Chains A and B, each alone.
Chain A
Amino acid sequence: SQQGEEDPQALSIQEGENATMNCSYKTSINNLQWYRQNSGRGLVHLILIRSNEREKHSGRLRVTLDTSKKSSSLLITASRAADTASYFCATVPTRTGGFKTIFGAGTRLFVKA
């Protein structure tokens, strides 16, 4: 089974609204990453948060990490139509020696103009 599980599976919002996506994982991790995938394209890295960090910001993105709950959230503020994409969390578990990056099933975000 996959390490990361995103919630919700799909999200539809109006342009200008905030979008929040959540990720839960099962084992202890070295780091957690968020990626974006536009339809039919490769994945683009958004942000990496280490296991000893609680929050990171990058432009309109805010990521939090709660290792006690084994969960992370990605907040996109003031969303734009161009943010329409699938968003994936990925974890590097410590138990495997830290050499495997495991992806969740993703959240499909649709931002209506």
Chain B
Amino acid sequence: NAGVTQTPKFQVLKTGQSMTLQCAQDMNHEYMSWYRQDPGMGLRLIHYSVGAGITDQGEVPNGYNVSRSTTEDFPLRLLSAAPSQTSVYFCASAPDILTTEAFFGQGTRLTVV
């Protein structure tokens, strides 16, 4: 079972570059979300989606865009990378958010220089 797959695992960007972090799940989950985790901190919610075509902002959405064209995929786009976006990014999915747990990918470690 693949579960939640994130690519790439590691990425180095220059300030101002753009890129897309990929997230795919094969469990037919409606709910997907993106978090960032900074050293010694918990996860902060960036964006989430409750189904294909529906997205909404989390706690720290600035500088990031998302789309949800299919149930399986939920890419996260960095529009113009900044050093403050250096972090570990986690994607998660869940059948629903009110009664079930979330399944996490292994993370993407992003460094912006």
Contact = CB atoms under 8 A, between A and B. Distances in A.
Contacts of A31: 98-99
Interface of A: 2, 4, 30-31, 33, 35, 40-45, 48, 50, 88, 90, 92, 98-106
5 contacts: A31-B99, A40-B107, A99-B50, A103-B44, A103-B45
B48 A99 contact: yes
A45 B102 contact: yes
A88 B73 CA distance: 26
Interface residues of B, number: 28
B104 A44 contact: yes
Contacts, number: 68
Nearest to A34: B101
A72 B45 CA distance: 21
Nearest to A1: B59
Contacts of B26: none
Contact of B58 (A50, A92, A100): A100
Given A99-B56, A101-B97, A102-B59, A42 B105 contact: yes
Contacts of B25: none
B7 to A, nearest CB: 14
Contact of A43 (B50, B99, B104): B104
B74 interface: no
Nearest to B6: A42
B33 interface: yes
Given A42-B107, A48-B101, A102 B56 contact: no
B106 to A, nearest CB: 5
